[in-house]
Amino acid sequence: MFVRLWMTENPLTVGPKERLGKVKELMEINEIRRIPVVQEGNLLGLVTEGDLRILPPERLMSPASEIMVTEVLTISPYAPLEDAVHIMRSNKVGSLPVVHEEKLVGIITDSDLFHAIETFMEAGADSARLTFDLEGSKTALVLLGKLVEEFDLEVDNLVLHRRMANPGRKIAAMRVRGDRVEEFVERLWTDGYRVLQVEIPHPHP
């Protein structure tokens, strides 16, 4: 997944001469916490809600260029989404302007990343969610695929990750749907899979 698929395209921007009072008004009306400062499409800096919060009222007539942050971390629209997560987390920032060929083309925020994770994991879906340990088995996923086919299930998603406390240990989380999910889970136990969690939605009466 690339940044361009989750970023906000053509974000609201202001020019360097825009009064800070107007910048504050735009941010409040649009319920955003930061706004890029651009000139002829080029990113000059960023004004944040925090900058404006500590600003004395008499400075609201000053231009945005006076308080904008000029050393701004940016990212390419073609960068993997996980790069955005890493940069934002490592630098403790809530957004990254997206720049392509020196022009601002979008912005990606922590809210966009939360939305992406929610979508990837299909939070709230009516499919069954299984979590199991893959430690010690290099063929577990191959065998798992055969079981999915045997029980005629549809896989909505499959995510692999390493445990923070034990990086050598892989955990798989998957969502499946079909009429034989409970039989599938029983077979996993029988075949020795270390099933850590099972969530099977049941229809409401």
Domains and their CATH numbers in the chain: 3-118 (3.10.580.10), 125-199 (3.30.70.260)
Which tens digits make up the pLDDT trace of 193-202?
888 888 887 6
d(CA 166, CA 188): 23
Work out the widest C-alpha separation in the chain, in whole angstroms: 72
pLDDT tens digits for the chain (205 residues)? 899 999 999 999 999 999 999 999 999 999 999 999 999 999 999 999 998 998 999 999 999 999 999 999 999 999 999 999 999 999 999 999 999 998 999 999 999 999 988 887 777 677 888 888 876 566 777 878 888 999 999 988 888 877 655 666 778 888 898 889 889 888 888 888 888 888 887 654 5
Residue 61 in tokens: 């007539």
Chain-centre distance for alpha carbon 22: 30
pTM: 0.76
Report CA-CA distances (Å) from 103 to 36, 116, 127: 12, 24, 42
Residue 73: burial class (beta carbons within 10 Å; 0-12, 13-18, 19+): middle
d(CA 87, CA 125): 30
Which tens digits make up the pLDDT trace of 55-86?
999 999 999 999 999 999 999 999 999 999 99
For residues 108-141, b (16+ Cβ closer than 10 Å) or e, as one string? bbbebbeebeeeeeeeeeebbbbebbbeeeeebe
